[in-house]
Amino acid sequence: MDAEQLRQYLEFYQDLGVKSLYRRTVVAPAAPAAPAVEVAPPAPMELPPLAPSDDTLLKIIQDIGDCRRCKLHEGRNKIVFGVGNEQAPLVFVGEGPGADEDAQGIPFVGRAGQLLTQMIEGTARKEGMNLLRNDIYIANVVKCRPPENRTPEPEEMEICGQFLHRQLMAIRPKAICALGGTAARALTGHKEGVTKMRGKWFKWQDIPVMVTYHPSYLLRAYNVEPKREAWEDLKKLLHYVYD
């Protein structure tokens, strides 16, 4: 990060009302031990810490307000902040809202969202866990729907990703699940496609990240093998978090 990027970064936080930045202490993982990271992280960017120590989801929502910080605000109906248990040990992160999410202001409520719910609850049931969608937390990298459901641009992800960063810091889950390549790349910094990354453990800060397919990809009828792989990924993830 050069001096100009750092200046813009700090201005962004000043704009959010964040008055002070602190360097977070890395806490040793509690038992059971975190899964071994299977893919070494790329060279880390030297960033100042992003969230105040007393941050809450409510405070982040208030800071977002009627956000116009990137051009995605132009076509949105509702900001889609996130939904679920604010103390969830597991957070799912997708790419951005679609049409149904934009209309309702809730992430993963369309067909892909229904499949995600079935996958979470169905896998948990089969593995003997009592887990409902409401027990976890779901958010996206960007909070406003990109036009024509296009992939968010790097600048949009960088700007809005700061809110995701604060959400994750406020929740501090035991693990994160990145749904699809865009979320995976945003969280891990790796540039590979999702087929290479899925089923492996990465890290966001000191939190393990499991990468799997986005449910909208799995809705395509011919994707039989990816469906099986996604169930495998979820099993691995749920056992790590809830065993």
For ligand SF4, the binding residues (CB under 6 A) are 64, 67-70, 72-73, 79, 142-144, 156, 159-160
* Nearest distance from C-beta of residue 130 to ligand SF4, angstroms: 34
Are 140 and 93 in contact by the 8 Å Cβ rule? The answer is yes
- CB of 18 or CB of 230, closer to ligand SF4: 18
Residue 118: CB partners within 8 Å, gap ≥ 6? none
| Cα dihedral 175, 180, 185, 186 sign | negative
- CB of 144 or CB of 177, closer to ligand SF4: 144
- CB of 108 or CB of 201, closer to ligand SF4: 108
* Nearest distance from C-beta of residue 72 to ligand SF4, angstroms: 4
- CB of 59 or CB of 239, closer to ligand SF4: 59
* Nearest distance from C-beta of residue 26 to ligand SF4, angstroms: 28
- CB of 72 or CB of 93, closer to ligand SF4: 72
Are 181 and 193 in contact by the 8 Å Cβ rule? The answer is yes
* Nearest distance from C-beta of residue 188 to ligand SF4, angstroms: 20
* Nearest distance from C-beta of residue 137 to ligand SF4, angstroms: 17
